[in-house]
Structures are given as structure tokens and as C-alpha cells.
Amino acid sequence: MGKYDPTPYQLDLNAIPKIISPTLPGPKSTALHNRAKQHYRGISGQVRLFPVAFEKAQGCMMEDVDGNQYIDFSSGIYVTSLGHCHPKVTEAVVKYAKRLMNCHDFTTEIKTRLLEKMAATLPGDLKCFQLYDCGTAAVEAGLRTCRAATGKHEFLSFFQDFHGKSGHSISLARMTKFSGASREPGFYLMPRPDTYRPLWVDADGVIDTDAYLDFYDKIIKECTTGQIAALVAEPIQGWAGSIMPPDDFFPKLKKFLEERNILFMADEVLTSMGRCGKTLCCEHWDVVPDVVTIGKGFGNGFPVTAMAVREPYADAVDKISASTSYGGNPMACAAALACFEVIEEEGLLEHSMHLEELFKKRMADWTEKYEIVGDTRCKGCLLGIELVKDKVKKTPFDEAGKMVYQKAFAKGLAWVPAGHILRMSPPIVMPDEVAQKGMDIIEEAIFETQKELLG
């Protein structure tokens, strides 16, 4: 296990962020974006709010086509956790791009080494894997595995979780008339504990996880046929705004599920690979899920994801026709193996936890200092700041969220908006000074937004 060294990731903070365009997005960004928009549709809200065009990135810095340089607090979209273009990952991909790009799911040495590394690194008896090219495909395979392992067909999941945009993965989450489908039969959603917005509290005002479990029991009895294959959950909700569970929730939930012969499938597409300070976020609570999906930081930008299955359920994977065209291709395996090695060699799980302390300290008094900040939270390098109009009613302040996002971006911080919740996912390689500088920019943007909106 190596020790974190900030040297390769340092930025000259006298020079970066560097905003040289008189207005943002700069002229080249605008021209390029307008050309692309003629043909590229379905652009995300994130880009619509700040339509820059990026040219290159290295470590914790991103540069747009006008030469403006930003500190990266997004890791793409929770993806480039080891910093952009980590040399070891790049080298690994290039090596296999020259040697062997695809041989379907035939065995290769690089895939075998990745599988052995995963088996040695993941907790408990998570020893059996299949590889995919996006998180959604891994989630779909996970659902099919749970059905094959149990012979049961129904699923439980949680309000405001996000698991992908295909027919089944979208059925696990909130749907709108734009989802393009109705919820598949047999999918049931339930509320999960959110310490900032609890539904049930005990006599001392502390969130009551047992009350949530009692409610799940009622849902199972009243809504399902009892043929539940699995409960699927994000350990920490990413898309919803970095919403963290109380520490007793997942251990109690796992026991609750075991007592009812229901599998626990953790969707760790976003929370794994050091994003939350551990290889799997569930390790924070000593919970080993029966099935896990891993993505985003798994390839640090190369599209590779995985489904991991505990040994007792491994035979089920053989029944679901699990392989795909791109899953487990040699470039993907080389990228993912390099990511595991970099995390180990550079002591990045420890550094992610160290950054958690830094961020928590930094935000500790923000709810007192700023009228619009209702809550701040952080696990490893996954952060959320909830902006509200009224601290008693906790009314979401979407306008403030948009303004803070745009102001901070214009000051040189590339990051991820989510309505009234600010979401941050800086690379886990980030040096302390750079992390502090990013937080300076966010704090300035909050201060200015509050002043403009509330006077």
C-alpha cells in the first residue's frame, strides 16, 4: 500500500483557475457548441446551463477550447476519479489498443489478471464477475442474476435512487412522462431514510430507521406477491444529491432482507473505487451485498463496468447469457486493472478519507453562516450542499442552485448541478491546496448568490 504524494497533481494556484475569455462560454466554445447542436440532441441540463466546449484535461485541471482552465470538481460525471488522463491508465489502454482490441469474451491474460485482482480486493465472498461497458448494462445483468438465483421476479427499490435509463433499471426509480415507458410489473418503490428530511424520528428527534423497516414490511405484505428477488439500492444517492443514510441503516436492512430471503443488490456504479473512501461504499458499514454493480471510476474514463456476485449465487450468472459485445475487452480490462493498481500504489483510499475530513471541516459552519445553506454532507470525495429558501420548511431553492453553479463555473470550477442541491465529486487524487481553492470558489459563489437573492 503506497502513500499519497500530491506532487504529480499540484496546480499552480496563482495561474489556475485561468479565465481569459471576456465572457463565458468563450467565442470558440459558443461557435463549436452551436455547430454541434445542429445535429446532437438530448443535451444534459448540466451542459445547457454552462455550454463550454472542452479541449483537454490533465489531473485536476480541465481546459476549454478558448484556453480557459478550470479546477475539476466533477471528475467528468463521477468518472475520472484518478484525475484526467492518469498516465498509468492511458498507457494501459494504448498498449491494448495497439495489440488486441476485442475478442468477444474469450479469455485473455489481462482479463484474468483483472478478475484475480477484483477477487482479492472486494470484500467477503464477492468472487464472481461479469464485465460490461456501462452502468446500466451491469444493473440489468444484476437484476437478471437475482431473478435466476432466487426463481423470484419482484424488486424493491427506493425513492430518488438512480440506476440507469433502460426498461428495468428505470423501473427501479422515479419515472416521468418522458421516461418512454411505464414501470415494469413487479417493481415497488419505498422511501429511504434521509437524515436532513426524515419521515420518522424517535422521541429524541433522531431519525428512526426501525420505523422505515416496519414500513417496508407493510409494503411487502400489502403491495407485493411476496416473490421478491432483491432489494436494489445505491449506498449513497448520487443523482438525488449525495444523500447519505444513517450509519445503522444498511446493517439493519441487510438483516431484514436475510430474514425474508430477499437478496441485497447494491448499485455502486457511482460510489465505488474510492469515491467514498473505500473500494465499495458498503464497506463503511461492514455490509457485503449479494450482488454489486461497479462503474464510473472503475475505468477512470474508459467505458468499463462490472457486476460482482457472491459465491453462493455465482451459478445464476451462467444462466442469464451474461456476455456482451464490448464487455471485458482487453483495453477495458487493462484500464480497470490499472485503476486498482493506482489506488493501491498511491494510497488513494486513505487520501479520499483525508479529503473528507478537509471538506467537512471547511463546510462545518456553512449552515450557520449562510441563510440559504440548509445542509452539507460528505463521504470520501462525494459532497452535497442543499440550498433552501426557508430553513424551517426546508423549501428547495432551485434558483439559488442554478446561480451558484453558474457563478462558480464562471470563476473556474467545473462541477455538477442538481437543482437546489450542489453536487461535487472532485478527483480523489486532489492535493489539499487545490481542494481548498475549489471550496473557496464555491463559498464565494454561495455568498454572492445569497446577497443577490436575499439582499
Measured torsion, CA atoms of residues 17, 49, 67, 86, in degrees rounded to the nearest 10: 70
CB-count exposure of residue 406 (10 Å: 0-12, 13-18, 19+): middle
* Residue 241 in contact with ligand PLP, rule: CB under 6 A: no
* Residue 427 in contact with ligand PLP, rule: CB under 6 A: no
* Residue 295 in contact with ligand PLP, rule: CB under 6 A: yes
Cα 271 to Cα 356: distance, rounded to the nearest angstrom: 14
Q: What is the DSSP string of 231-264?
A: EEE-SSBTTTTSBPPPTTHHHHHHHHHHHTT-EE
Helix, strand, coil fractions of the chain, as percent rounded to 5: 40, 20, 40
Per-residue binding letters, 139-178, with ligand PLP (x by CB under 6 A): x----------------------xxx--------------
Q: Which residues, 6 or more positions from 217, have their beta carbon under 8 angstroms from its beta carbon?
A: none
* DSSP-derived 3-state class of residue 110: helix
* Residue 238 in contact with ligand PLP, rule: CB under 6 A: yes
How near is the Cβ of 454 to ligand PLP at its closest, in Å?
33
Q: Which residue in 207, 269, 400, 408 binds ligand PLP (CB under 6 A)?
A: 269
- Nearest-CB residue to ligand PLP? 135
How near is the Cβ of 326 to ligand PLP at its closest, in Å?
13
CB-count exposure of residue 444 (10 Å: 0-12, 13-18, 19+): middle
By beta-carbon proximity to ligand PLP, the closer residue of 129 and 162 is 162
Per-residue binding letters, 196-235, with ligand PLP (x by CB under 6 A): --------------------------------------x-
How near is the Cβ of 169 to ligand PLP at its closest, in Å?
7
With cell 493506482, the residue in question is 342
Answer for the pair 247, 318: CB distance below 8 angstroms, yes or no: no
How near is the Cβ of 167 to ligand PLP at its closest, in Å?
13
Per-residue binding letters, 96-135, with ligand PLP (x by CB under 6 A): --------------------------------------xx
Q: What is the DSSP string of 353-422?
A: HHHHHHHHHHHTTHHHH-TTEEEEEEETTEEEEEEBS-TTTT-B-HHHHHHHHHHHHHTTEE-EEETTEE
How near is the Cβ of 79 to ligand PLP at its closest, in Å?
9
Angle subtended at Cα 9 by Cα 6 and Cα 11, rounded to the nearest 5 degrees: 110
Residue type, position 341, single letter: E
How near is the Cβ of 418 to ligand PLP at its closest, in Å?
12
* Residue 379 in contact with ligand PLP, rule: CB under 6 A: no
By beta-carbon proximity to ligand PLP, the closer residue of 29 and 305 is 305
Q: Which residue in 270, 372, 413, 424 binds ligand PLP (CB under 6 A)?
A: 270
Contacting residues toward ligand PLP, per CB under 6 A: 134-136, 139, 162-164, 234, 238-239, 267, 269-270, 295
